[in-house]
Each structure stands twice: as C-alpha cells, then as structure tokens.
Chains A and B, each alone.
Chain A
Amino acid sequence: MTLKHVFLAALATLAAVTLTAAGPGSGTITGKITYDGTPAKQKPIDMSKEPSCASQHPTPITTETVVTGPGNTLENVVVYISAGAPDEAAPSAPVNFDQKGCQYVPHMLAFQTNQELKISNDDQTSHNIHPLAKINQEWNKSQPPGTPPIIAKYDKAEMIHVKCNIHPWMSGTFAVLKNSHYSVSDKDGNFKLPNLPPGKYTITAWHEPDQEMTQDVEISGSETKTVSFVFKLKPY
C-alpha cells in the first residue's frame, strides 16, 4: 500500500467519523410507534411440509405481518429520513439476512443503497430468496444448505417484499434507504435516529405491507426530539 493510499484511507476514516460520530451540535430524534384499532390476528404457521424446520419450533411460530408489544406498541416499523438529509455512500460493513428455522431473521431489514447484503442459509434445506423488487432489478435465487452466502446490492431506494418460493410462509422486507439515518422499531415500539445535524427533516415511518406516515421535524443544535407515530390497524 502506498503512502497515498494510507493517507486517503485515513482521510476517509476521519470523514466517516465526523459524519457518524456525535459531533457537537448533532440532534437526535426518538419516539415510539403505537397503533390504534385491532391488529390482524397472527396465525400459527404449520411447517409440517418441511420437517427439518418444523422440529425447530416446538410451539409453532406465527406470522409476523403485525408484531405488537404491551401498550399497543408496534414492532418492525422502519423510520427514516425521507427528505432533508443528503444521500450517503454505503458503509463498507455488510448487513446480514439469515434464514433460520424457515424464518427470516430479521423480519424487517433496513440498509442503505449499494450496501452489501449477505444472505445466509442456516437450515438443512434449500431456501429460495425472491425479493419482489419493482424499482430495482428483481432476482430469484435458491440457496442449497451449506453453500456460500448470497451477496447482493440494491442501487435504488425501495421497500422490497422478500419471499421464499419453496416455503411460501416465509416473508420479510428489505428497506433500502438512501442515507444512514434510519431505525427499525424494537419490540417496545422504540426507535432512535441519532447524529442529525441541524436542519429540517421529513421523517417517514413505514409498516408492511404499504402503510406510511410522515412528519416534519426541525433539529437545531444538539437537542433530542420525540416524535410518535400511531398506525391505524384493522383486523382483516
């Protein structure tokens, strides 16, 4: 490695640190996702067709289209800055998407455009990964057990529904986003967008299959603002 390369690398690291690490005057947006109404009943999944997976779930897992917590909190909502923040280059670290027990882990995976996506199969059976991209290039690949991870990238922002064609109950979402300011609500519905430079932002909360809410937030200095979203849910 030449000196020039070392220098450039150092410069890049420095830039990355200034961008991501909390510099003076960077704000944070936190909040909670809750819902109103009656969420759809999550049905147990019968995996008897795939005995090697069924045996991993002594009590059947349920669908994950709506995952709620105590106090009407809503999990798996992706919250991101949809306007106000510049597009960012992808970080070099890949994101992992696992298939385990015929289930996607995580169910909702958010990552950046052009960021490396590493898909692994931890099961004893072949899986098929079919992200139903509409803006990005759609692809459909199978992954036999014991084969190397599938590496993929998406170059446009999109919410992509992911399916396994071999195991029709497997369902997940790729949230491909333009910048690093995103968060997926945890089991208590909490999300946190740190390190925001001062500015006016539009933040969007998105829940599958296609529910979307936005709010405008202004950050001035190193403050923490709280924003809440309340999704309306219907039983069917």
Chain B
Amino acid sequence: MGKLLAVTIIIIAIASAVPFVMHTWEPPADVSTHGGLIDEQMADTMIEAGVSFLAAQILLGLFIWQFSKPRTDSKVKTFPGGAKGLVIAAIVLVGVEVLALGAFGSKAWAAVYFTPPAADAMPVQVQAGQFAFYFRYPGPDGKFGPLHPEMINEGNQNLFGLDPEHDVESRDDVVTAEMAIPVNKEVHLLMHAKDVSHSFYVPALRIHQDFVPGLDLSLHFTATKVGTYEIVCSQLCGLGHYNMRAYLKVLSQQDFDEWMKKEQAAQ
C-alpha cells in the first residue's frame, strides 16, 4: 500500500502541474504598460514554486516507496548529511531563493505604487457603491464639482450627489456607467467609495485596488490596446457583489472624443 501511495502522490503532483505548464487557464493578456513586470514575476515564481512542489512531492513519493517495504532487518538508516544538510538546503535553496524573488518583485510593485502620475494624466473619478461602478469626468472646465452625499439619489441618477444648482463645477461633469479611456494615455483614477468597501479589479490591466470608505485613494495606469475589458469588484460588498461590474472601453483618441460628446449630450 505504501507503493500505491508513492505512485499516487507522484501522479497527482505531475497532473496538478500540467495545466500550469500547458497554460490551460491563463490570466487575460496584459494591456498595460506596467503589467509586463508583474507577468515576469509570476512566471519566475511559477518556476520556483513548481520546482519546489514537484521536488518535494516526488521525494516524498520515492521515500515512501522505498521505505514502506516490510523489512526483516532491524536496521534503520539516517539520511546522508542528517538534519543539518536539510536545514541548510531549506534556508539556501528555498528561503534565499524566495526572498530574492520577493526583492526583485518589489520592482513590479514599485512600478504601480511608487511612481507619481504624469502631470498630463487624464483624471477620472470612479465611485463604487452597492452594486455598480459609476465614473465621472471633470468636463471642459477640468474640475470635479464637490460631492454632497446627502443628495445622492439613484432613482433620478444623481449617483454622485452633485448639486449643479449651486456648484458651477458640477454642471459640466460627465457621469457614466461605463469607463472609456483613450489608448496610450495615462489615466489618473480617483477612487471613492459610496457605502462599503469595494475593489477595482481589471485583470487585463493588472490593476487591483480596494476602495476604502472615508479614504479616497488614487491609481494611475496606461492602457496600450484598444478593446473592451471588464472591471469587477473583488471585495465582498453585499448581496450583489457577484454582479458588480462595469466595462472599460479603451478607445482611440478620436473614438474617445466622440464617445465623450455623446455622453455629454446625455447628461
């Protein structure tokens, strides 16, 4: 039965690795400027993790195979090198390797979080609420009008709580339910939560950031490929969490301008 276990463990280990090796299931193709570093980091980590995983499982299997045989002699043997060798192996082969990986990975993290947005980045505000994202563009004046939470009324689509009657800046603000951005143009995303915690996850853009109620965060990114992508919420926000999404349209500058005109007309 020991042999069967050994074989089972090794088969399971190899079978588990196959979909990763074959790229059966993959994240959507990257369309951001910063995503390359993340993908590289994922690939490197996959190699490290895959080798550790297979080595450990196969070694486990082999030893079970070998030493579960009933033996008549009373002798036991000790692993060559003893514990010391294994501890050193753990520290050097796995620990140092993984820490180095982490150190290199901070570069990818820094590319997202430790760089300021470009001065000419296009500001877009996103508001997450139960259970939809809404976006706001500042309009021709380049200014966002102030928010008045008490005025929020979804029934008449005052989704941000704008007060155009009193706030001049609000009058030209463009509120939309889908997000459109021009391709190859940096976007400065201002994140606002209406009610509870949400998250802004765009797998194709390699962007993932929680909304924090009471604390407006910002992100910046550049999309490099025209297309339609999904923005989903990944932070449990209530019963409609699964249905909380919006579409991100990456458009050519010309298409974007047209889209903006159409949205402005609809305000």
The answer to whether A and B touch directly, with their CB atoms under 8 angstroms apart, is yes
**Binding-face segment, A1-9, A11-19, A147-155, A159-167:** A159-167
Taken residue by residue from 153 to 184, chain A's Cβ proximity to chain B (1 for < 8 Å, 0 otherwise) reads as 00000000101011111010000000000000
A161 to B238, CA, bound (A): 20
Task: Judge if A212 is at the interface, Cβ distance under 8 Å.
Answer: no
Known interface pairs A43-B266, A43-B267, A48-B177. Does A166 touch B239 (Cβ–Cβ under 8 Å)?
yes
Task: Judge if B156 is at the interface, Cβ distance under 8 Å.
Answer: yes
Q: Which of A63, A167, A168, A235 has the most CB of B within 10 A?
A: A168
A125 to B243, CA, bound (A): 10
Determine which of A44, A47, A63 lies in contact with B156 in the assembled complex, contact meaning CB atoms within 8 Å: A63
What's the least CB distance linking B133 to chain A, in Å?
8
Known interface pairs A43-B266, A44-B266, A236-B165. Does A165 touch B240 (Cβ–Cβ under 8 Å)?
yes
How many residue pairs between the two chains, A and B, have CB atoms under 8 Å in the bound complex? 69
Determine which of B153, B163, B176 lies in contact with A46 in the assembled complex, contact meaning CB atoms within 8 Å: B176
Main secondary structure of the interface of A (DSSP, over half): loop
Residues in B neighbouring A47, C-beta threshold 8 A: 177
Task: Judge if A49 is at the interface, Cβ distance under 8 Å.
Answer: yes
Residues in A neighbouring B238, C-beta threshold 8 A: 165
Number of residues on chain A facing chain B (CB within 8 A): 29
Task: Judge if A40 is at the interface, Cβ distance under 8 Å.
Answer: yes
Determine which of B130, B163, B243 lies in contact with A126 in the assembled complex, contact meaning CB atoms within 8 Å: B243
Report yes or no: B131 in contact with A165, Cβ–Cβ below 8 A.
Answer: yes
A49 to B232, CA, bound (A): 10
Task: Judge if A65 is at the interface, Cβ distance under 8 Å.
Answer: yes
Report yes or no: B130 in contact with A168, Cβ–Cβ below 8 A.
Answer: yes
Residues in A neighbouring B239, C-beta threshold 8 A: 128, 142, 165-166
Residues in B neighbouring A40, C-beta threshold 8 A: 156
Which A positions have Cβ atoms within 8 angstroms of B?
40, 42-50, 63-65, 125-126, 128, 142, 161, 163, 165-169, 171, 208-209, 235-236
Top 5 closest pairs, chain A to chain B, by CB? A171-B155, A46-B177, A166-B240, A236-B165, A65-B156
Which B positions have Cβ atoms within 8 angstroms of A?
129-133, 153-157, 159, 163-165, 176-178, 238-240, 243-247, 266-267
